[in-house]
Every structure is written in C-alpha cells, then in structure tokens.
Amino acid sequence: MPIISKARVILRDFAHKVLDIDDTKLPEGQIRLLKDHMAKYKQQMKEAASLREMVNFLKRKHLVDSICVSEADGSTVISSNGNDLSEAVTATALFNYISSEVPSSEAVMIKANGEWFMLMQSEKKVYAVKAPASLTTIELKALARDVEKALKSKQFATSNLP
C-alpha cells in the first residue's frame, strides 16, 4: 500500500505542475479589512473642515513628512509646513531646470540627509513631497490625484486656503 500512495502523490504533483492547477483562494478576510480601512479614510476626508486639515490627513494617508503644491510660476497653492514660499519657489525652479535639461522626466527624486525630496508635475502644478522613504511615481500620482480632488471640492473654496 505505501508504494501506491507514493505513486499517487508523485502523479498528483506531476499533474499539478503540468496542468498548472491553482487551488489558492482569495483572502476574503484581508479584502474585507482593506475595504473597511479605505471606507474609514473616505469618511475622514469628508469630515475635514479646512484645506489644512485635508493636507495633514493626506500626509498621514500617504506616509509623507510634508506636501507643498505650487503653480508653475512658483506661487504656493497649499503647503503642510510653515515655509511655504521658499519651498514652493525652490521646488518649481528645480523642477523647471531639470525639465529643461531632461524634457521627458516625470519625477525627480533627491536623497539628502537621510530624507527624500521628490518633485512631480501634474495638471500644471508642481508637487514637492518630503518623506523618509522614496515614493514611486504611481504613489506620487495618487497623492497628486487626492490633492486635486480636495482642491476641486466645493467644500474647500479658495477662501479656505491656509
């Protein structure tokens, strides 16, 4: 009998490899947890009273230290820290210089003093993000999309800017 059971195991393993049978199941518990977590974030975004609260919420959501958004001319749109103007002008000038030298660049990532300084342009705005770890271009685009949603929201009129 042991020879037959060994042969059965060998044939089953061979069939799984040849037929590429996938018997894995969806992690429904994890999916449910993630959906609940994302619903909580959406609710917190709706409850933000000012644009500054929204920016601080987005900092926590995307795990970054600061977010500064400026127009292409260097004027500040929003910022999560106190030195808005200098950071906006520096970020815009640096991004414009790099774009002129390397026209096809999507994002700029600089590491200095153990911190990442990332620049990206989206919808004619320059996003300057500081974080302890680098973000991918996709993560930067998601952050920009969230900021754009907040700026276009009727809840956050331009008179509500910090």
CA–CA separation, 77 and 80 (whole Å): 11
* pLDDT tens string 32-89: 887 887 777 666 666 666 777 788 888 888 889 999 999 988 888 888 877 777 888 8
Tell which wins on pLDDT, 146 or 155. 146
Residue 1 has pLDDT above 60, yes or no: no
Instruction: State how beta strands 76-79 and 66-71 pair.
Output: antiparallel
Domain 48-160 top-level CATH class: alpha beta
Asked if the model's pLDDT at residue 4 lies above 90, the reply is no
Average per-residue pLDDT in the chain?
81
Lookup: tokens for 60: 């926590």
| φ/ψ (deg, to 5) at 47 | -85, -10
pLDDT band at 159 (very low <50, low <70, confident <90, very high): very low
pTM of the prediction? 0.67
| Torsion sign, CA atoms 42, 107, 133, 32 | positive
Q: Is 70 exceeded by the pLDDT of residue 95?
A: yes
What pLDDT is stored for residue 21 in this prediction?
Answer: 65
